[in-house]
Amino acid sequence: MVSAATPAELLRPLLRLCALSFLLQSCWLLESAHGLLEGLYCGTVSCYDVLGVPRDAGKGDIARAYRQLARRYHPDRYRPTEAQEDPEAKFLLVATAYETLKDDEARKDYDYMLDHPDEFYRHYYHYYKRRLAPKVDVRIVIIVTVCAISLFQYYSWWSSYTEAINYLTTVPKYRIQAAEIAKQQGLLNKTKEKGKNRRTKEEIKEEEEEIIKNIIKNNIDIKGGYQKPRLYDILLFQIVLAPYHICRYIIWYCRWIYRFHILREEYGEEEKLYVIRRNMSMSQGQFDSLEDHQKETFLERKLWLKENFEVYKLEQEEELKKKVASDPRWKRYRRWMKTEGPGRLTFIDD
């Protein structure tokens, strides 16, 4: 009959494992008691001993010692006395010692390691933190990146706006309206020059095209992705003005809660349109690009009320299903409306 193991017998393997672990750690501490760890700085050799200088040596003494040893142990000049000597390893060790002691912060960490050999976890952390840290200030990298993105944004928006204006000059509707405005302002009724000042037909035509284009620029109302770019819309200005916009939003939100949740005031037209836009999950730019009669329809149907909006949403989904079933191009149109919005091109006088 096998007897049951006693608690002492069960704990014996665990005690042996703890003793072995303690013995290994003690050996490691004894090896590093002198403050030199393998893999850190100059390894198990003191950087001061490598350069042959005392711990209180100044930067000038360290630099002179490094230059002498660098010339001596340079791989192209040094001739080892023993076959086992490696000139490249010696030169690298001298360079490592100099890089460690010439920098004030690195030397301070190294001296601390020599004086506190038991804090080896701290020594590893500071060594690799300094070694793996980026050489360039991260703040400079972030600023340069944001500026580059902002310049690209502004250039891209200007290209889109110029493309839209060039297209509008070819549309008969807007071209005729621009020509009428130019005639009313007397820009196209100039008398023809004679003599030396006489211009060719091509020059006159180019001038008229430029006049029409400027009138379209000044009178056109472009909404959506092709609208005229503004400096405060780029990323750099958005980041700089972020605290201001956050404060404005907090103040606006507090006023909204006070007026419409505590005092129970009625929504004005602006507030109704805001609630409608929020229900539709549209950005301000997308909502502004809608036609005025669409917004009037939203107000007439009281879409700021949740129940009315749910009914309208179901109607739109059913209508869209019919259109998609009849024409697959509506899928692309819906995807475009979701990402960019329709955009709007009208004269301000319209």
Residues 15-56: tens digit of each pLDDT: 566 655 554 454 444 444 455 667 788 888 888 988 899 988
Distance CA 303, CA 291 (A): 16
Please report the beta strands in the chain, taking only residues with DSSP state E, as ranges in sequence order: 220-223, 344-347
Q: Computed from CA positions of residues 205, 208, 213, 214, in that sequence, does the dihedral angle turn out positive or negative?
A: positive
285: pLDDT strictly greater than 60? yes
Distance CA 51, CA 101 (A): 10
Mean pLDDT of the chain, nearest integer: 78
Distance CA 170, CA 216 (A): 11
- The token pair that represents 28 in the structure block: 């490691």
Query: How many C-beta atoms surround the C-beta of residue 108 within 10 A?
Result: 11
- The token pair that represents 267 in the structure block: 């929504």
pTM, 2 dp: 0.50
Residue 147 has a pLDDT of: 93
Could you tell me the end-to-end alpha-carbon distance of the chain, in angstroms, rounded to an integer?
Answer: 106
Please report the beta strands in 147-306, taking only residues with DSSP state E, as ranges in sequence order: 220-223
Count of helices and strands (H, E) across the chain: 16, 2
Residue 182 has a pLDDT of: 80
Distance CA 37, CA 142 (A): 36
User: What is the SS3 assignment for 6?
Assistant: coil
Asked if 169 and 175 count as a contact pair (C-beta separation under 8 A), the reply is yes
Residue 187 has a pLDDT of: 73
Q: List the one residue out of 177, 258, 256, 183 whose CA is nearest residue 221.
A: 177
**Most confident option among 28-37, 196-205, 280-289:** 280-289
- Contacts of 247-256 with CB under 8 Å at 24 or more apart are none
Residue 204 has a pLDDT of: 76
pLDDT in tens, 95-117: 888 988 888 888 898 888 888 88
pLDDT in tens, 202-251: 877 888 888 888 887 777 666 655 677 888 888 999 999 999 999 999 99
Asked if 179 and 188 count as a contact pair (C-beta separation under 8 A), the reply is yes
- The token pair that represents 90 in the structure block: 């010696």
Distance CA 149, CA 293 (A): 37
Distance CA 194, CA 284 (A): 54
Query: 120 Cβ partners below 8 Å, 6+ apart?
Result: 32, 37
Question: Can you tell me which residue has the tokens 């006070």?
Answer: 258
